[in-house]
Amino acid sequence: MSDVLVLVELAGGGPDRLSAEALGLAGGLARALSVEVHAVVGAGSGDADSAASAAPGLGAYGVATVHLVSGDRLDAYAPAAWAAAVEGVAEGGNYDAIVASGSERATEVLAHVAARMDLPMAANVITIEPGDRWKLDRQRWAGSLIEEAWLDGAPRMFTVAPHAVPAMEPASSSTAATVVSVAPTITDGDRRARIVGHEVAGEAGVSLSDAKVVVGGGRGLGSAEAFAMLDELAELLGAAVGVSRVATSLGWRPHAQQIGQTGTRIAPDLYIACGISGAIQHIVGAKAAKRILVINTDQDAPIFKRASYAVVGDVHAVVPAISDEIRRARGGG
Amino acid sequence: MRILVLVKRIPATGGRIVLTEDARSIDTRFLGFVVSPHEECAVEEAVRLIEANGGESVVLTLGPPEAADQLRDAMAIGVDRAVLLETDGSDWDPYATSAAIADAVRDLEAAGGSFDVILGGNESADSGGYQVGVRLAVALDRPIVTGIKALEVGDGVATARRQVPDGADVFELPLPAIVTVREGINLPRYPSVPGRLRAKKKEVERIVPERRPGGPTLERLQLPVEKEQHVEILGTGPEAAPRVVALLRELGVL
């Protein structure tokens, strides 16, 4: 029997959100193939106990067997060392597929595994159909384009696009997963690139990725100075300020404020997009916004197609007027 | 110091993607082309490393003959040499791409010495395979870190910072090494006019790569189904402010 192996990252005693999504897609694949889902969980010596106590609970997520790989050679994260651990499990079993989430680490580790085993890998898959050749849909352009492709290899390897498939919900009654402890074979070469430290960043106001309201500005602002009016509106609303790529590449604003494919993905209740045309690069970063209010002179700008509300006009006049109106409304009680 | 930087030519899509009739590629007839954003920063990083340490930088891409334009863009801001692995413009999967680049790196190093650092982007903006750098590292038996936002290259060792939600993970790796970067690691400079003129005259070394079979194969492309969004126009100009504030109240934002 050829099973489906899933890389699972743990958080709070269960799979983290993206791993639960990978388990969801992998579960469907295993049902289609009439095989079992296995999980591989890695842990350094400090995390081995908590991983061991969480592992049986993966049964609720459809996992039959957990391969728990731990040891002090996994203590400081080294991508190739973690790949060696997964590769060991892969070669110790008989797997039709190895699936990872689209997290930064899981993607990196699976790429290493695929390279080490000299097999193809597909990233950011959203559907998979087994057959003589496996057919998949995967995201290109951060999800603005879908590619239908064929994937070969034994095992087939792919990552699951983040927030594109439903996460597996834990079953209320389920059998505990069988846990198999594995001692990995990790060479010094596998640990050449590894984490040697961690730096905690200072608090910096409302975080863009978590903000409930985001005020964004783009080329239409025309200058670095003009962003002062966005800062003002954002302060009145308790919002975070975000910008389009052009505002960072022109040096108007720091890259940390960039919303988009190469910047931060936002998911606010309301995104107020000022002087932003709506290039694909930007739109994919704001896809998860519940509502978009556009302020723009050009009604043909692509961003109008994504908007719930719009004010047609020059941001330089409209934004200060809104701030004034908010102050007036507040002043009047 | 010797630095190799890997780039990809991608279409500048703007606001809307249009597919060709056979749905196997993007219709680029009316589009310009650029260096994929992460790699644009990798080029800047390569130039800064050579400015600080001396030595030679080389830019390499795999793509159609026209990708020489993107190599010249890199030379215009200070990269010394350019190598084009010239294809017929068809889609190359990451499995084939990384194998061809590994072959080329072996040849370049046999001729000119080892590269201390090979730089690339974390993922290309168009196909987003997330693996060419890692495959290259495994093929060349070199350490790699991906998705880097800050890089220091010291004596025999590189220190690289990767952004994580609460700050940064700090990686160390011995040279020679491979590092893929993310946009934001630096702010790429604009080419000067003399820089552009110099780059125009420079030679682009062309190699026809061998295409390794076995990777994922593209069948067709499709645009995702978007929900039809109804836009409510609140008004025109600053006179719309009271309606905006009423909306903010209604949405519970105020």
> B21-76: per-residue pLDDT in tens?
999 999 999 999 999 999 999 999 999 999 999 999 999 999 999 999 999 999 99
- For residue B243, pLDDT over 80 is answered with yes
Residue whose token pair is 């975000």: A242
Q: Which residue type occupies B187?
A: L
CA distance B214 to chain A (A): 7
Q: Report how far residue B145's alpha carbon sits from residue A128's, in angstroms, rounded to the nearest whole number.
A: 29
Which among B28, B95, B151 is the top mutation candidate for probing chain A, defined by the most A β-carbons within 10 Å of its own β-carbon? B95
| Closest C-alpha among A1, A35, A6 to residue A20 | A6
pLDDT tier for residue A332 given thresholds of 50, 70 and 90: low
Residues of B with Cβ-Cβ distance to A204 under 8 angstroms = none
CA pseudo-torsion sign A154, A159, A164, A166: positive
Q: What is the pLDDT of residue A29?
A: 98
Question: Contact, B181 vs B192, CB < 8 A?
Answer: no
Residue B121 contacts A, CB cutoff 8 Å: no
pLDDT, tens only, B176-232: 999 999 999 999 999 999 999 999 999 999 999 999 999 999 999 999 987 778 999
β-strand pairing of B204-207 with B33-35: unpaired
Across the range A243-265, mean pLDDT stands at 95
Across the range A258-265, mean pLDDT stands at 95
Q: What SS3 state is found at B77? A: coil
- Element of type H or E holding B34: strand B33-35
Question: b/e per residue, A27-43, with b = 16+ CB within 10 A?
Answer: bbbbeeeebebbbbbbb
Q: What is the pLDDT of residue A207?
A: 86
User: What angle, 0 to 180 degrees and rounded to 10, lies between the N-to-C axes of helices A104-116 and A17-33?
Assistant: 50
Task: Tell which A residues from 90 to 109 touch B, by Cβ distance under 8 Å.
Answer: 104, 107-108
Which among A137, A199, A294 is the top mutation candidate for probing chain B, defined by the most B β-carbons within 10 Å of its own β-carbon? A199
Instruction: Tell me the ipTM for this assembly.
Output: 0.96
pLDDT tier for residue A315 given thresholds of 50, 70 and 90: very high
Residue B135 contacts A, CB cutoff 8 Å: yes
pLDDT tier for residue A1 given thresholds of 50, 70 and 90: low
CA distance B74 to chain A (A): 16
Residues of B with Cβ-Cβ distance to A317 under 8 angstroms = 237-238
CA distance B241 to chain A (A): 5
- Cross-chain CB nearest to A312 (options B172, B173, B233): B233
Q: What is the pLDDT of residue A203?
A: 63
pLDDT, tens only, B66-120: 999 999 999 999 999 999 999 999 999 999 999 999 999 999 999 999 999 999 9
Across the range B4-16, mean pLDDT stands at 93
Q: Report how far residue B181's alpha carbon sits from residue A269's, in angstroms, rounded to the nearest whole number.
A: 31
Taking an 8 Å cut-off on Cβ atoms, the answer to whether B128 and A141 are in contact is yes
Q: Report how far residue B234's alpha carbon sits from residue A227's, in angstroms, rounded to the nearest whole number.
A: 23
Which among A150, A293, A316 is the top mutation candidate for probing chain B, defined by the most B β-carbons within 10 Å of its own β-carbon? A293
- Cross-chain CB nearest to B223 (options A145, A309, A310): A145
Question: Contact, B179 vs B144, CB < 8 A?
Answer: yes
Taking an 8 Å cut-off on Cβ atoms, the answer to whether A325 and B245 are in contact is yes
- For residue B123, pLDDT over 60 is answered with yes
pLDDT mean across residues, chain A: 95
Q: What is the pLDDT of residue A206?
A: 76
Taking an 8 Å cut-off on Cβ atoms, the answer to whether B128 and A251 are in contact is no
Q: What share of chain B has pLDDT > 70, as a percent?
A: 100
β-strand pairing of B232-236 with A309-312: parallel
- Cross-chain CB nearest to A104 (options B37, B147, B187): B147
Across the range A134-152, mean pLDDT stands at 96
pLDDT, tens only, A8-56: 999 999 999 999 999 999 999 999 999 999 999 999 999 999 999 999 9
Taking an 8 Å cut-off on Cβ atoms, the answer to whether B247 and A309 are in contact is yes
Residue A187 contacts B, CB cutoff 8 Å: no
- For residue A333, pLDDT over 80 is answered with no
| Closest C-alpha among A124, A9, A148, A82 to residue B130 | A124
- For residue A279, pLDDT over 70 is answered with yes
Across the range A113-138, mean pLDDT stands at 97
Q: Number of A:B CB contacts under 8 A?
A: 254
Q: What is the pLDDT of residue B16?
A: 86
Q: Report how far residue A239's alpha carbon sits from residue A235's, in angstroms, rounded to the nearest whole number.
A: 6
Across the range A183-201, mean pLDDT stands at 96
Cβ burial of B98 (10 Å; 0-12, 13-18, 19+) is: buried
Q: Which residue type occupies A203?
A: E
pLDDT, tens only, A47-89: 999 999 999 999 999 999 999 999 999 999 999 999 999 999 9
Across the range A174-200, mean pLDDT stands at 96
